[in-house]
Amino acid sequence: MKNNFQHAKNVVRKYYESFDKASDSNLVHVLKEHTTKDYHWRGMHPFYEQYGAEAVVEIFWKPFRESFLPIQRREDMFFAGANDCDDGKTQWVVSVGNLLGLFDTDWLGIPSTGKMIFLRYAEFHRVEGNKIAETALFCDVLSVMDQAGHYPLPPMTGAAFIYPGPRTHDGLLFDEQEPKEAIKTMEVLNKMISDLDEINKSGNDKCPPELLARAWNEDMIWYGPTGIGASYTIERYQKQHQYPFRENLTDKVFNGHIARFAEGNYCGFFGWPNLTNKNKGGFLGLPKSDVEAEMRVVDIYRREGDKLAENWVYIDILYYLYQQGLDVLGRMREMKSK
């Protein structure tokens, strides 16, 4: 199992080494070299699902590179594992960090600044043999808008800044890891998910902090998506995210995950979508809506001892808003044209 994980990680590392150095004219060729013929790619709004190297480069990578060159991949976490969602039949690798570039050309209608910009990302890859068969790239477009001075939503309940990597600076798991540690990490993760399910079934939107403390360290850090922000300690996390989220959203339905895996002290998952819900009114400044809106979410965790210590979260908030009639990027393009 360890050797398989190392192979999968090497496949992704070789891909990054080639793709990040490739010229614009060679991107499709390099991506084809490292992906299967039926390559399936998922991206956040407005990129959505794409198939094949040509479409992925045309829809995402070409416009992004035109706006932000030169680009540095500043990786904070990198790990692999067997997918807990399909009993380990598939193997996944995830890279988490920032893509840094000079914002010299408008992107998605966001006015350029001529200054450096950090694009938060979490990129999942399913490896088959020597190729990448499937990718899910979550990136925080709202963070780019915020850094560029065009934040479009009400003030965040948490703090907004360029998030750091793990406190322990050990998130790059390039080498083999002890399998028993991954088992411990997955047990804590599944315990946390079970506790959340218990809260959902109880209907208690003001769950006591003691319930969270069963799986979380008291000094936990929750790095939420732009639009919500980051929180420190269980008490502030509940005040700044959990309670507003639970009190302002209703009819929550959990749809499961596509991939969920662990290696060492790290674990993560993503769904497409993870859950659906209705907005009672107030969440992200939105009015009440009867739309059963989808939430596509990524969670990356670091375990410390027998509890979770840090959590990096990505939510496709632009898509969540779009489903309820608020086209943030379209509105920005309209404002620019006036």
**Tens place of pLDDT for every residue, the chain, 338 residues?**
445 799 999 999 999 999 999 999 999 999 999 999 999 999 999 999 999 999 999 999 999 999 999 999 999 999 999 999 999 999 999 999 999 999 999 999 999 999 999 999 999 999 999 999 999 999 999 999 999 999 999 999 999 999 999 999 999 999 999 999 999 999 999 999 888 877 777 777 888 999 999 999 999 999 999 999 999 999 999 999 999 999 999 998 889 999 999 999 999 999 999 999 999 998 999 999 999 999 999 999 999 999 999 999 999 999 999 999 999 999 988 887 76
Same domain, 67 and 211: no
User: 244 with 142, same domain?
Assistant: no
Structural domain boundaries enclosing 59: 2-147
Residue 161 lies in a domain: no
Question: How crowded is residue 81: how many other Cβ atoms within 10 Å of its Cβ?
Answer: 28
Is the same domain home to 198 and 331?
yes
Pair (207, 308) in one structural domain: yes
H or E stretch covering 36? strand 35-43
The tally of domains found in the chain comes to 2
Both 125 and 206 in a single domain? no
Shared domain for 192 and 264, answered yes or no, is yes
Helix (H, G, I), strand (E, B) or coil at 114: coil
Q: How far is 295 from 275, CA to CA, in rounded Å?
A: 5
The reported pTM is 0.96
Contact 288, 280 (CB under 8 A): yes
Instruction: Give the separation between CA 60 and CA 302, rounded to whole angstroms.
Output: 29
Residue 138 and residue 75 share a domain: yes
Q: Are residues 284 and 331 in the same domain?
A: yes
- Do 86 and 212 lie in a common domain? no
For residues 138 and 123, give the distance between their C-alpha atoms in angstroms, rounded to a whole number.
6
- CATH number for the domain that contains residue 236: 3.10.450.50
Gap between the Cα atoms of 179 and 265, Å rounded: 10
- Residues 81 and 199 both lie in one domain: no
Co-location of 124 and 213 in the same domain: no
